[in-house]
Amino acid sequence: MSTTVMLARVANAVYWMSRYIERAENTARFVDVNLQLTLDRSGVATPQWMPLINITGDEQAFNVGYGSATRDNVLAFLTLDPDYPNSIRSCIESARESARTVRETITTEMWQQINELYHLLRNTRPAQLNHQFYREVKRSAMLFNAITDNAMSRAIGWDFVHLGRMIERADKTSRILDVKYFLLLPSLDDVGTSVDAIQWRALLHSTDALEMYRQKHGTINPANVADFLIFNEYFPRSLAFCLARGERSITRLVASNAHEDADLARREIGWLRSEMQYRTVKEVIDRGLHEYLDEFQGRLNQVDTAINRAFFQPRLPKSSQASR
């Protein structure tokens, strides 16, 4: 039993270490894009700050602590607030704590990279929240992922790290796309105008998708953007890509786990990926993109719940329970 408990603890720690790193990077991405809009708006787009809170789904926490969605308030809340568990600072602190508990599982270089990012956040003041700072957060998180992928054996530990990254990335891509389509546009009168084009471009930029999208589609079109970020099987931040890679990791983990709940987790993500595979962007938009993405986020939460039940709640293997 003690071995099972230890493995569940380690698996949970590396899974959430990876999710927290990915969450911090994604927050840095969409904040930085909004900052750049303030510098390069050509007089036609006024960056809005409340939609960045909408992406997180934590409007209530922001309103209680800050009220007005000014630039400085939103940056402070999303980046440095020690009491907000999803701020960049809190995410990196949580990732570091998870990494500290499993030092024997991760590499020294992984630990050092998290530690450097931790100290960067600890030493940053509100006046330093600029483009260069968020660029450094993104660079540091990407470097952590590169170190992980190049130094960690493709064993159980890596699968949990990779799975956490894919689940978190799918969640954030869906939220960013949902907010742009449902909340970000100032007015329906702006649809199809230069304001609309700038914001769709900013959306692609925040997911590192702009150049790959242009190679495939050329001009920016909302339906094509949705198609690319939802259904493209080759772009690393699309929902389809994240689910496919996440399913691959879960399948590998099921092979090493005797609990029947492990196979339920594999089937949960498999059902979601399969349903997506046979949809078209026209069907999604006709039904309602917001409704589709809202349902997707709920289904993704079910996948995460199944992963937790299968791998992070210690129990005896089925064969051992039967013999008792």
Same domain, 28 and 142: yes
Same domain, 143 and 254: no
Q: Please give the Cα distance from 6 to 212 (Å, whole number).
A: 42
Q: Does some domain include residue 163? A: yes
Same domain, 190 and 75: no
Which pLDDT score is estimated for 320?
Answer: 42
Q: Helix, strand, coil shares of the chain as percentages rounded to 5?
A: 75, 0, 25
Distance of CA 101 to the CA centre of its chain: 23
Residue-wise DSSP of 201-234: HHHHHHTT-HHHHHHHH-S--HHHHHHHHHH-SS
Which pLDDT score is estimated for 40?
Answer: 54
For 113-155, what is each residue's pLDDT tens digit? 999 999 999 999 999 999 999 999 999 999 999 999 999 999 9
Query: How many structural domains comprise the chain?
Result: 2
78 Cβ contact partners less than 8 Å away, ≥ 6 residues apart: 27, 31, 52, 53, 56, 84, 87, 88
Residue 303 in this model has a pLDDT that exceeds 90: yes
Q: Does some domain include residue 322? A: no
Q: Are 174 and 239 in contact (CB under 8 A)?
A: yes
Residue 47 in this model has a pLDDT that exceeds 60: no
Same domain, 215 and 105: no
Percent of the chain's residues with pLDDT above 90: 72
Nearest partner of 88 among 75, 101, 98, 100, judged by Cα: 75
- Residue that finishes a domain, picked among 105, 132, 152: 152
Same domain, 39 and 134: yes
Nearest partner of 199 among 42, 47, 38, judged by Cα: 47
Q: Does some domain include residue 268? A: yes
Task: Please tell me the pTM assigned to this model.
Answer: 0.90
For 100-118, what is each residue's pLDDT tens digit? 999 999 999 999 999 999 9
Same domain, 124 and 20: yes
Q: Please give the Cα distance from 248 to 261 (Å, whole number).
A: 17
Q: Are 299 and 291 in contact (CB under 8 A)?
A: no
State which H helix or E strand residue 138 sits in. Answer: helix 131-151
Q: Does some domain include residue 259? A: yes
Q: Does some domain include residue 2? A: no
67 Rama sector, left if φ>0, alpha if ψ -120 to 50, beta otherwise: left
Residue 324 in this model has a pLDDT that exceeds 70: no
Same domain, 75 and 121: yes
Q: Does some domain include residue 323? A: no
- Residue that finishes a domain, picked among 152, 187, 203: 152
Q: Please give the Cα distance from 46 to 56 (Å, whole number).
A: 21
Which pLDDT score is estimated for 67?
Answer: 87
Residue range of the domain that includes 87? 9-152
Q: Does some domain include residue 162? A: yes
How does DSSP classify residue 83?
T
The mean pLDDT value of the chain amounts to 88
For 197-245, what is each residue's pLDDT tens digit? 777 888 899 999 999 999 999 998 889 999 999 999 999 999 999 999 9
Same domain, 129 and 169: no
Same domain, 161 and 132: no
Residue 120 Cα distances to 21, 96, 283, angstroms: 14, 13, 45
For 72-97, what is each residue's pLDDT tens digit? 999 999 999 999 999 999 999 999 99
Distance of CA 44 to the CA centre of its chain: 30
Residue 2 in this model has a pLDDT that exceeds 50: no
Nearest partner of 138 among 123, 124, 117, 122, judged by Cα: 117
Same domain, 148 and 219: no
- Residue that finishes a domain, picked among 106, 121, 152: 152
Q: Does some domain include residue 183? A: yes
Which pLDDT score is estimated for 38?
Answer: 73
Same domain, 166 and 96: no
Same domain, 195 and 118: no
Q: Are 78 and 137 in contact (CB under 8 A)?
A: no
